[in-house]
């Protein structure tokens, strides 16, 4: 499936279960935060299947947030990329990105 097909399928699934009309962006953010915690646990355990599940579940929540706000996730990603694309710097040994000025 293409991303567009998957996004539409997620929105249809969420609508059929009344998530889209009855949830809120804040409630979906909370669910995404829970999924990110599960993703962290999967990363610590180096469990690829659970890592993929955590990433996928988090993206579902992000799609729901966007659907509730009538915005597009790809537009959000593009906006973020436009902000960082010319950023110069590097990741140091402590895992911190150091921007070049």
Residues 41-69: tens digit of each pLDDT? 999 999 999 999 999 999 999 999 999 99
Q: What is the mean pLDDT of the chain?
A: 96
Q: How far apart are CA 14 and CA 17, in angstroms?
A: 5
Between 99 and 40, where is the model more confident?
Answer: 40
For residue 85, is pLDDT > 80? yes
- 18: part of which helix (H) or strand (E)? none
* 3-99 is classed CATH 1.20.120.450: no
For residue 101, is pLDDT > 80? no
**pTM for this structure?**
0.89
Residue-range domain boundaries for the chain: 3-99
């Amino acid at each position: 499936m293409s991303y567009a097909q998957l996004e539409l399928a997620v929105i249809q699934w969420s609508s059929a279960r009344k998530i889209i009309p009855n949830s809120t962006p804040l409630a979906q953010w909370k669910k995404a935060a829970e999924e990110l915690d599960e993703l962290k646990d999967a990363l610590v355990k180096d469990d690829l299947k659970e890592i993929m599940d955590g990433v996928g579940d988090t993206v579902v929540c992000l799609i729901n947030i966007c659907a509730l706000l009538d915005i597009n996730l790809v537009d959000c990603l593009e906006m973020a990329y436009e902000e960082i694309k010319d950023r110069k710097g590097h990741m140091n040994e402590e895992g911190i990105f150091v921007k070049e000025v």
